[in-house]
């Protein structure tokens, strides 16, 4: 097989949005600092020296024309009503994506309901050597997801679709991928690298009552990935989650994923921690309310990464939402315990009073709250000794139980040494670099003249890494 080229290795260059419109003094008309390749196209990582073993990922919410408002005075007027507008913008998006030339592109808000736009993406990306996988949101929402895989770089072993069937009609795509370039793992020979990739778009947090919905969306995705690994008896391999997570580094979803061993590739590349100070260093979205925030992530979980049981992490995340709601009501630890006890005179919380308290804070009993089995799982986690009640000591464990805010200790996103009783060698990833476009968002600013989308484009490049991990990791 011919030597292949993935998405880039060296990043000592100026960054750009890859569009094909005018450039003045090194800046595009969208305000992005650009470089021009020999062919005259704008590029960010495509024209630099490359390591053929690297894999590059781009995630980009391209703002479906059915959602793009074009007149602040008339909110019902959308770009989809004007063919020339959405056609020109999406041509520029494709110019930018093709100049980036990533190994894998994960797009959200892809307008699957418009045949002309779909054909345009299929033709241009197909001609550039990509295999495309698209998935519409349920209930004919009009938009959906698109994954494009460079055929010469990667071989798709399997493709699955996950329909969450929730209030947001959200969906997710799962691909099992194998690198076309073998990785030299030891002197005895070389093996191709395999990994799992997920593309998704979570529900927008219109209000705090949707926290559990968003958490459940991620929980279902991780459950599905775990089941897929188990049923297919997969060897330990990296998991990459791409998409628009509609939540920042301060949110419950972020902390839940961190507790499951995932690291944010952009934060790893820029040596940012999970601290409050670092949570505002960059942004990737200006929402319809005019707020700017960082919500687009390329998550990496290496096969040697220690992970809590999924159900335990989920329960801790739900308890952290409960704690947040009670603190919002200015309840102290003692007050919160009294609230959970309700009318129970004994110094303990019963299942009935626990359920009633969760009903009052709208975690259950609402259309998209916790289901009965989830409530059972939550209770079993809280009633640690299984005696049918939660005493104050058990409650304190709940109250102080939050998904840990890890410091990003290993700046490569992987650890090559792992002391376990039963180990096997696996190939993971190191984060080589990651960049956001337009460039201003890396400084926490949103350029007013940026018009490709209401999201920035995130690209990350990973290099393979040999590591030891537990044979029972998956």
The domain in which residue 381 lies consists of 313-399
Q: Kindly give, in sequence order, each residue whose CB lies less than 8 Å from that of residue 25, ignoring residues fewer than 6 positions away.
A: none
Q: Kindly give, in sequence order, each residue whose CB lies less than 8 Å from that of residue 365, ignoring residues fewer than 6 positions away.
A: 358, 359
Distance CA 347, CA 390 (A): 9
Residues 246 and 391 in one domain: no
Q: Does residue 31 lie within any of the structural domains?
A: yes
Residues 87 and 236 in one domain: yes
Picking from 399, 427, 450, the residue at the C-terminal end of a domain is 399
Q: Does residue 409 lie within any of the structural domains?
A: no
Residues 99 and 186 in one domain: yes
Residues 341 and 367 in one domain: yes
CATH for 389:
1.10.238.10
Q: Does residue 245 lie within any of the structural domains?
A: yes
Q: Does residue 34 lie within any of the structural domains?
A: yes
Residues 276 and 388 in one domain: no
Q: Kindly give, in sequence order, each residue whose CB lies less than 8 Å from that of residue 329, ignoring residues fewer than 6 positions away.
A: none
What are the start-end ranges of the H helices in 108-164?
A: 115-127
Pairing of strands 35-36, 42-43: antiparallel
Picking from 350, 367, 399, the residue at the C-terminal end of a domain is 399
Residues 249 and 147 in one domain: yes
Q: What are phi and psi of 165, to 5 degrees?
A: 50, 50
263 with 413: CB under 8 angstroms? yes
Paired residues of 467 in beta bridges: 426
Distance CA 252, CA 284 (A): 18
Q: What is the model's pLDDT at position 27?
A: 33
Quote the strand ranges of 209-313, DSSP E.
239-244, 263-264, 285-286, 292-293, 296-301
Nearest to 408 by CA among 262, 304, 282: 262
Q: Kindly give, in sequence order, each residue whose CB lies less than 8 Å from that of residue 335, ignoring residues fewer than 6 positions away.
A: 326
Q: What is the model's pLDDT at position 422?
A: 61
Looking at the 3D structure of the chain, how many domains does it have?
Answer: 2
Residues 139 and 74 in one domain: yes
Residues 301 and 433 in one domain: yes
pLDDT of the chain along its 474 residues, tens only? 333 333 333 333 333 333 333 333 333 434 333 443 332 333 455 433 467 789 999 999 999 999 999 987 888 899 999 999 999 999 999 999 999 999 999 999 999 999 999 999 999 999 999 999 999 999 999 999 999 999 998 999 999 999 998 888 999 999 999 998 887 655 566 788 999 999 999 998 867 678 899 999 999 999 999 999 999 999 999 999 999 999 989 899 999 999 999 999 999 999 999 998 898 899 999 988 888 999 999 999 999 887 889 999 999 999 999 998 898 888 999 999 999 999 888 899 999 999 999 999 989 987 788 999 999 999 999 999 999 999 999 999 888 875 444 433 343 455 444 444 467 888 999 999 999 999 999 999 999 999 999 999 999 999 999 988 765 544
Residues 294 and 318 in one domain: no
Distance CA 216, CA 225 (A): 14
Say whether 210 sits in a helix, a strand or coil.
helix
Q: Does residue 8 lie within any of the structural domains?
A: no
3-state helix, strand, coil in the chain (%, to 5): 30, 25, 45
Distance CA 199, CA 104 (A): 11
Q: Does residue 408 lie within any of the structural domains?
A: no
Distance CA 42, CA 31 (A): 13
Q: Does residue 105 lie within any of the structural domains?
A: yes
Q: What are phi and psi of 399, to 5 degrees?
A: -60, -35
Distance CA 282, CA 437 (A): 11
Residues 328 and 292 in one domain: no
Q: Kindly give, in sequence order, each residue whose CB lies less than 8 Å from that of residue 391, ignoring residues fewer than 6 positions away.
A: 347, 348, 349
CATH for 104:
3.60.10.10
Q: What is the model's pLDDT at position 53?
A: 83
Distance CA 353, CA 344 (A): 7
Q: What is the model's pLDDT at position 181?
A: 80
121 with 146: CB under 8 angstroms? yes
Residues 426 and 349 in one domain: no
Distance CA 426, CA 110 (A): 35
Residues 419 and 347 in one domain: no
Q: Does residue 64 lie within any of the structural domains?
A: yes
Q: Kindly give, in sequence order, each residue whose CB lies less than 8 Å from that of residue 207, ignoring residues fewer than 6 positions away.
A: none
Q: How many residues does the chain have?
A: 474
Tell me the pTM. 0.85
């Amino acid at each position: 097989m011919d030597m292949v080229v993935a998405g880039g290795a060296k990043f000592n260059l100026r960054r750009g949005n890859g569009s094909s419109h005018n450039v003045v003094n090194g800046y595009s008309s969208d305000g992005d600092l650009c470089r021009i390749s020999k062919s005259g196209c704008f590029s960010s990582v495509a024209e630099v020296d490359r390591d053929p073993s690297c894999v590059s990922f781009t995630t980009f919410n391209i703002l479906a024309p059915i959602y793009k408002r074009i007149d602040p005075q008339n909110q019902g007027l959308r770009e989809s009503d004007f063919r020339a507008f959405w056609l020109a913008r999406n041509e520029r998006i494709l110019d930018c994506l093709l100049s980036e030339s990533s190994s894998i592109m994960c797009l959200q808000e892809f307008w699957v309901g418009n045949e002309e736009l779909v054909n345009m993406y299929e033709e241009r990306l197909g001609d550039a050597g990509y295999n495309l996988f698209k998935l519409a949101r349920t209930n004919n929402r009009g938009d959906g997801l698109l994954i494009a895989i460079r055929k010469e770089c990667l071989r798709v072993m399997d493709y699955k679709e996950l329909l969450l069937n929730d209030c947001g009609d959200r969906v997710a795509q799962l691909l099992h991928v194998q690198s076309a370039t073998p990785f030299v793992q030891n002197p005895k020979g070389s093996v191709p690298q395999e990994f799992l990739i997920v593309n998704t778009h979570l529900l927008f947090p219109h209000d705090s009552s949707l926290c559990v919905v968003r958490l459940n969306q991620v929980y279902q995705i991780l459950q599905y990935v775990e089941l897929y690994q188990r049923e297919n008896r997969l060897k330990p391999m990296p998991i990459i989650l791409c998409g628009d997570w509609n939540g920042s580094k301060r949110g419950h979803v972020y902390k839940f994923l961190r507790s499951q061993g995932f690291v944010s590739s952009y934060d790893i590349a820029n040596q940012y921690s999970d601290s409050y100070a670092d949570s505002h260093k960059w942004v990737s979205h200006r929402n319809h309310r005019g707020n700017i925030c960082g919500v687009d992530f390329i998550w990496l979980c290496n096969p040697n990464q220690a992970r809590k049981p999924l159900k335990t992490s989920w329960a801790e995340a739900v308890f952290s939402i409960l704690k947040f709601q009670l603190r919002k009501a200015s309840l102290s630890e003692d007050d919160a315990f009294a609230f959970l006890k309700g009318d129970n005179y004994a110094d303990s919380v019963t299942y009935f009073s626990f359920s009633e308290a969760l009903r009052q804070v709208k975690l259950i009993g609402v259309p998209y709250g916790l289901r009965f089995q989830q409530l059972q799982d939550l209770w079993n986690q809280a009633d640690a000794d299984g005696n049918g009640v939660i005493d104050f000591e058990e409650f304190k464990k709940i109250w102080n139980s939050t998904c840990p805010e890890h410091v990003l200790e290993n700046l490569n996103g992987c650890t090559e040494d792992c002391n376990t009783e039963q180990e096997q060698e696996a190939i993971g990833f190191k984060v080589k670099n990651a960049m956001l476009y337009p460039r201003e968002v890396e400084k926490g600013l949103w350029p007013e003249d940026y018009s490709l989308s209401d999201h920035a484009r995130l690209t990350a490049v990973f290099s393979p890494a040999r590591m030891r991990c537990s044979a029972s990791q998956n």
